[in-house]
Structure 1
Amino acid sequence: MRVLLWHVHGSWATSFVHGPQTTLVPLTPDRGPDGRGRPDTFHWPDRAVEVPYDLLRDEHVDAVVLQRPREIGLCERWLGRRPGRDVPAVYVEHDTPRRTPADASLPEEVVPDSRHFLYNRSDIPVVHVTHFNELFWNCGRAPTTVIEHGVVDPGHRFAGDRPRAAVVVNDPLRRGRVAGTDLLPALAEAVPLDLFGMNVSDVPRRLGIAPERLRTYEDLPQARMHEELARCRVYVHPYRWTSLGLALIEAMMLGLPVVALATTEAVEAVPPEAGVLSTRVATLAEAARSLAADGPRARQMGKEARAHAVDRYGLPRFLRDWRHILTEVTR
């Protein structure tokens, strides 16, 4: 099977391209958002193939996996076929609902009855990455299903030689309260933080946090980031409103215990033996401080976190689920 997929979310796409299908990845000369091609910071198998956008019309494509509304138009222009009509397609909904079109002036407005943009279409199934997403999005006529995340297992690598807490947030200053960036000062008072992600280097200055209380690691390759994460004793997940971050699952697979806001899908992903969940910031700060100070306890809770993550979010189940839905839509 040959599947067209835009490179949008690096970690999620890395899991997807490990499936048995040939994945065609659009490439533009500038490697911009609509044509990134293969990544430099993730390991992809050879069956993920870059295809220049202007040569896509010459390619045989069995199905399209869409991830952004504008990809329907891109598909029509570049592939010359209409998703759901001329070529089978599914739409992966990575995000929690934020607003309806009428609320466009309120970028952080959360509307539980938000209508999905495919609300009136029945020809493109919507695949949610969490059950929380399926619950909150109003998809109308569109068929829906849930395929939970699957993660390439990085191995049990917990070292815990740094009595610090790790946090992974891309673009924390832009994302603000949604990602819990405003909570970092209070957390950093309780426990030193190592912040990983894109565009993180200016966070200590902008938030007024001393560099020794908040160290930043910007845009590391995935393998290097895993090495650095495994040296911390606890993983902190400060997101208020999000789908389940793959970095959280990766941290659990590495063997780190978790401290997280008890919001969205986190309450399903982190069992009590694997970490501490709460809506009280003081409770989370104290839990992170305590785990960072107690290496043996952090290691034991991390073992539980890893066991749960491998069982629920292992790659074989993820790829099996995707093989099933792609087979269904191409029949």
Structure 2
Amino acid sequence: MNILLWHVHGSWTTAFVQGPHTYLVPVTADRGPDGLGRARTYAWPESVVERTPGELRDAPVDLVVLQRPHEADLAERWLGGRRPGRDVPAVYLEHNAPDGNVPNTRHPCADRPAGRHRSDRLVLVHVTHFNRLFWDNGTAPTTVIEHGVVDPGHLYGGELARAAVVVNDPVRRGRHTGTDLLPALSEAAPLDVFGMRTEGLAAHLGLPPDRCRGSDLPQADLHAAMARRRLYLHPVRWTSLGLSLLEAMHLGMPVVGLATTEAVEAVPPDCGVLSTRPEVLAEAARTYLNDPHAAAEHGARARRAALDRYGLKRFLADWERLIEEVTR
């Protein structure tokens, strides 16, 4: 089966393309947002094939996975007039939690009219139950396929008495990512913040470099670096369930994080500490720093929980069931 999807979310796509199909990824000359092509920082199988807009015009496509509102019109143009959800089966994958006037945020698919035929139906797929609950989905048919993660292995060492944080663009995103909480939390545990545009974060927050270090590590080096830290800190207030959190659990790291959005479902009580009180998180971080044995034990439980709920086998099986449903 040929599945067309745009390279939007590298970590999610890395799991999705482990399936048994051929994945057509648009590529443009400038490799801009609508034509990134194959990933350069993730390991993708040979079944992921780049196609230019011209090549897509007559390409056989069995399913379109839409991820952004403008992609339906883009796909129709690039597929020579074939409309996703009418002329070719399609699903809309929503990665994000709603923003703006929550919980009244209306999803772009909510008002899509349903035709008389099954092929006129566009299924809206959420990656967490929290997201489906908080989006106003209207009458759109919805389902949830929870995240899956390519297992990086039990790499945890925890030899560095520091906390790992993974977040992109923490200065611009501010309160969404809990950036304002980092100064107080850094007093409990020195922080290593990994992600895009994290360099200079300490200066922005007025913190000494030894208490908060930002680093934009290559993806290939990230997991090993995370696993050397004693714990994973998740200070995010409002987002979908971060795949970096699930990857940390797969690595065998204990989690200390805000009890917000889907994190309360993802992290069982014996795998770390979740709370809406930053002082509780600070105390938990201190405990793990001072008790490496407890950190390793809770991290091992976190890994087992992540493999059970967010393993790649379950993720791909869920997608295969949906693909069969919408394409038959």
Coarse TM-score class (shorter-chain normalised): over 0.9
After TM superposition, the score normalised by the length of structure 1 is 0.95
1:1-331 equivalences under 5 Å are 1-80=1-80, 81-99=82-100, 110-121=101-112, 122=114, 123-218=121-216, 220-331=217-328
Runs of 4+ in 1 over 2 A off after TM superposition: 220-223
The answer on whether the counterparts of 1:151 and 1:249 sit within 8 Å (CA) in structure 2 is: yes
Structure 1, gaps ≥5 residues long: 100-109
The answer on whether the counterparts of 1:42 and 1:221 sit within 8 Å (CA) in structure 2 is: no
> For 2:222 and 2:190, how far apart are their aligned partners in 1?
18
**Aligned amino acid, residue 130 of structure 2:** F
The answer on whether the counterparts of 2:93 and 2:124 sit within 8 Å (CA) in structure 1 is: yes
> For 1:202 and 1:89, how far apart are their aligned partners in 2?
42
> For 2:73 and 2:266, how far apart are their aligned partners in 1?
35
Cα offset for 1:190? 1.3
After TM superposition, the score normalised by the length of structure 2 is 0.96
Provide the secondary structure at the position in 2 that maps to 1:267.
helix
Cα offset for 1:141? 1.6
The answer on whether the counterparts of 2:183 and 2:205 sit within 8 Å (CA) in structure 1 is: yes
> For 2:286 and 2:51, how far apart are their aligned partners in 1?
48
Q: Deviations over 1:85-143 (max 9, x none)?
A: 111100011111112xxxxxxxxxx4112211111224211000000011111111210
> For 2:238 and 2:50, how far apart are their aligned partners in 1?
33
Number of positions where the alignment pairs a residue of Structure 1 with one of Structure 2: 320
Cα offset for 1:159? 0.7
Structure 2, gaps ≥5 residues long: 115-120
Cα offset for 1:59? 1.0
Q: Deviations over 1:31-83 (max 9, x none)?
A: 11111111111000000111112221121100000110011111011112211
> For 1:151 and 1:243, how far apart are their aligned partners in 2?
15
> For 1:233 and 1:158, how far apart are their aligned partners in 2?
8
The answer on whether the counterparts of 1:236 and 1:260 sit within 8 Å (CA) in structure 2 is: yes
**Aligned amino acid, residue 90 of structure 1:** V
Q: Deviations over 1:218-265 (max 9, x none)?
A: 1x2333100000000100011111111000000000000000100110
> For 2:59 and 2:22, how far apart are their aligned partners in 1?
12
> For 2:108 and 2:291, how far apart are their aligned partners in 1?
48
Provide the secondary structure at the position in 1 that maps to 2:57.
helix
The corresponding residue for 1:102 is none
> For 2:77 and 2:232, how far apart are their aligned partners in 1?
43
Provide the secondary structure at the position in 2 that maps to 1:58.
coil
Cα offset for 1:293? 2.3
The answer on whether the counterparts of 1:164 and 1:232 sit within 8 Å (CA) in structure 2 is: yes
The answer on whether the counterparts of 2:156 and 2:252 sit within 8 Å (CA) in structure 1 is: yes
> For 1:87 and 1:168, how far apart are their aligned partners in 2?
38
Q: Deviations over 1:3-36 (max 9, x none)?
A: 0010001100000010111100000111111111
> For 1:76 and 1:183, how far apart are their aligned partners in 2?
44
**Aligned amino acid, residue 87 of structure 2:** D
The answer on whether the counterparts of 2:270 and 2:301 sit within 8 Å (CA) in structure 1 is: yes
Identity %: 63
Q: Which moved more, 1:73-82 or 1:60-69?
A: 73-82
